[in-house]
């Protein structure tokens, strides 16, 4: 018996069911987000467990050579692009702040604004976003390719935990690299702002330096460094979990790479907001 042809929905019915379809879409996205957060927490706990075991038992190793290799791939190779972007941001910030300050005869105070903005916010944020596109996507693609080629199953068949040998080195390397890159971004951005202030804004170097030291405090520096550490953790975990959850061959690897970049940027911005709210409540800003 031939199957009946599907009946097209009328325009009125489509309009009436639009809110329900919208709610269903939002619900599905919410469930996927919660599933990703839960899987990321389990992955983070598993990685932390292996790190603690390696600390208490020298026979348990997490692959120090692999950590160094990943630090070179993630951190060292990102230094140039992070320095380039942060230097440009320092130049832009100084040039943008100079005209309104000059209206009040306070052009030399550009150092006060640049130093605090870079140390607290822009240094770690720029480094994290650049590292997401440069290294986070690479981690997800690499692990995803290993999943597609069944290398992960081969490790498991040999009783080797992928979290121990693949995730831990990359997460540790991301944390260390991002912390160092945040400091590098701070130095380069402030140096670029100081150079343009001397060259184009007629602000003496000693005046810039004096105003910067008068405004910026040590807590501003450590605020940015702590942000960089957490951002590195987020990048490493999100990239690894997306790589491990790849399905569907090469197309799945591409999707995981895209999701990694988007999710990392969103997580970094939300974590930055949480940091700022906490520091504001503690009167550290």
Q: 73: which 2 tokens?
A: 């791939």
In terms of Cα–Cα distance, which of 33, 263, 51 is closest to 163? 51
Residue-by-residue pLDDT tens, the chain, 285 positions:
455 555 556 777 776 677 777 788 788 888 888 888 888 899 999 888 888 888 887 777 777 888 899 999 888 989 999 999 999 999 999 999 888 888 888 888 888 899 999 999 999 999 999 999 888 999 999 999 998 888 888 888 888 888 888 999 999 999 999 999 999 999 999 999 999 988 888 888 898 899 999 888 899 999 999 999 999 999 999 999 999 999 888 888 999 999 999 999 999 999 999 999 998 888 776
Q: What is the per-residue pLDDT for 52?
A: 87
Measure the CA–CA gap between 263 and 132, rounded to whole angstroms. Answer: 10
CB 117, CB 219: distance < 8 Å: no
Q: What is the per-residue pLDDT for 249?
A: 80
Backbone dihedral angles phi then psi of residue 57, each to the nearest 5 degrees: -135, 110
Measure the CA–CA gap between 45 and 39, rounded to whole angstroms. Answer: 10
CB 114, CB 198: distance < 8 Å: no
Burial degree of 165 (CB within 10 A; 0-12, 13-18, 19+): middle
pTM over 0.85: yes
Measure the CA–CA gap between 139 and 124, rounded to whole angstroms. Answer: 20
Q: What is the per-residue pLDDT for 279?
A: 87
CB 102, CB 242: distance < 8 Å: no
Measure the CA–CA gap between 119 and 284, rounded to whole angstroms. Answer: 13
**Other Cβ atoms within 10 Å of 279 Cβ, number:** 17
């Amino acid at each position: 018996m031939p199957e009946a042809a599907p009946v097209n929905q009328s325009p009125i019915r489509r309009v009436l069911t639009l809110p329900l379809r919208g709610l269903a879409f939002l619900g599905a996205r919410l469930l996927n987000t919660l599933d990703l957060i839960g899987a990321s927490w389990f992955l983070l706990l598993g990685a932390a467990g292996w790190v603690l075991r390696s600390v208490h038992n020298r026979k348990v190793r997490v692959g120090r050579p692999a950590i160094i290799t990943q630090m070179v791939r993630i951190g060292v190779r990102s230094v140039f692009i992070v320095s380039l972007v942060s230097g440009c941001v320092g130049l832009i910030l100084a040039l943008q702040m100079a005209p309104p300050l000059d209206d009040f005869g306070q052009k030399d105070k550009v150092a006060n604004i640049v130093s605090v903005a870079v140390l607290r916010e822009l240094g770690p944020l720029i480094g994290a976003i650049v590292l997401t596109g440069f290294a986070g996507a690479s981690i997800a693609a690499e692990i995803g390719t290993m999943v597609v080629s069944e290398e992960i199953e081969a490790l498991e068949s040999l009783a080797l935990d992928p979290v121990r040998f693949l995730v831990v080195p990359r997460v540790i390397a991301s944390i260390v690299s991002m912390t160092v890159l945040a400091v590098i971004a701070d130095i380069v951005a402030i140096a670029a702002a100081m150079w343009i202030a001397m060259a184009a804004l007629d602000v003496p170097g000693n005046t810039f330096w004096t105003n910067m030291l008068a405004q910026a405090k040590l807590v501003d520096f450590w605020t940015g460094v702590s942000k960089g550490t957490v951002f590195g953790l987020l990048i490493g975990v999100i990239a690894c979990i997306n790589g491990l959850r790849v399905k569907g061959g090469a197309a799945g690897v591409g999707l995981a790479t895209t999701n990694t970049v988007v999710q990392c940027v969103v997580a970094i911005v939300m974590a930055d907001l949480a940091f700022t709210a906490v520091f504001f409540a503690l009167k550290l800003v």
